[in-house]
Structure 1
């Protein structure tokens, strides 16, 4: 029987994913028809992006899984009509993109590449082993980025809400663990999911716990940072600089103070883009697993929200 796979996404997504998904289905030996419209009761799987007009999943009574094109699922996980299993996107290219983004900006701050050169005044940076980098979030992306920095010799500590063990990284959890990581982080990277427990985790109180002159890199979620508190900390010098890739409102409004602040680098949500070829392979492999009676990979915990 031919599977019906509904690509439920916004404008232009079908054109990007049509050929890669069909090729990935063929590579997995799946007899699957990719469609953008179908009777809900005929749909076997939904490939989903939050820009989709599909918001009521109740009519999709035959659907065996919803497969997100995005790593973040905060805009769908709480949907009360979603009773089907939900898989988040864990794409090797997405992970590699995030590793490159984080490594690049950590090295930029570590080496002082933003420092203006108005005269010949050599300032030798410390070696990586003497630079302390902290991570808030040790999930798939956080671990990959932290381990990349460990491989370069950085002194890396990480915090997660539940206990983790990652080779080469001083891992902490809980309120006391958060304080320890903040206090030792000359460069702090935030890669937590967007949940009620992580909202505004960088606020006036926690920013004050960082070493004076710390740098912040946030490619995680815009809601992790209390914007007014960060701007105030930048103005006092408590925080020397911030590189921000994600925001509460996107695109970032033209009048937002981040655009004009001399110590803020704004990037337009580019740290970890989903790439059609590799994402399609992930989706097809997951569908093949379910068809073979195997567990769905990267299934989202509804209670945890990720």
Structure 2
């Protein structure tokens, strides 16, 4: 891809981060309810832009976060966009609400409003997570996955899906709905098996890859097998960074192509302009891209261009920057 600066065309890698939890308090300096450093949200956004991130989907995990994500999208038009939905780990929040039906109606109304105004590009994060049943039991997760798919059929938006250790139930619920979900969507932060990935791809879904998708050698084999036209890149910030202990880290050490990131410090030693150690940011999408390109045996530029096209095609982003 190329950009024009002072009339001169320059090559620049451009990214769309399809999963950034920018409503998380960490980006305002709060950790576990306590403020550890100054609000550096604007610096986080600036670093992302400097690294080539041109679009970000801000994840909505419940009604409140979805509203906050939409507000961020209004404040940062053409850069930030929102998803609206209830994450499976938040499904008890709906079940225990005084009026669950109203909660779901409010969710649908919010998504429709965001779709009309151009701030909402996907419905989610919805799905199942059997790895964290301490947040919500499986039957409650299934109940609200089904109810949110009812909403999805009326919205006609791509889905932003979560699937963790639940492949059989996930597909059993999802597959009968597919005729009424023509825009399909993306299964983000994918950590499943090759067979699970291939099944989802055969159903028409794209696969979101971040640091959590690149932890083990088995994970790397899965990413290697994802068709290029089904890959999307993400960070899931502030989670899912690539850590030195991850199988993918060896590619970062061996490959100098990915752009240099700013220095990081512990939150207790925070200085404005530095990254916070252990807090993933959208700017680190360049690391995810570098690993994926190496695994796929393609240039970083070709991977970025393909991932960009995949996202624009699915979500309908305006390519004007």
Q: Return the TM-score normalized by structure 2.
A: 0.33
Structure (1/2) with the larger helix percentage: 2
Q: Which has the larger radius of gyration?
A: 1
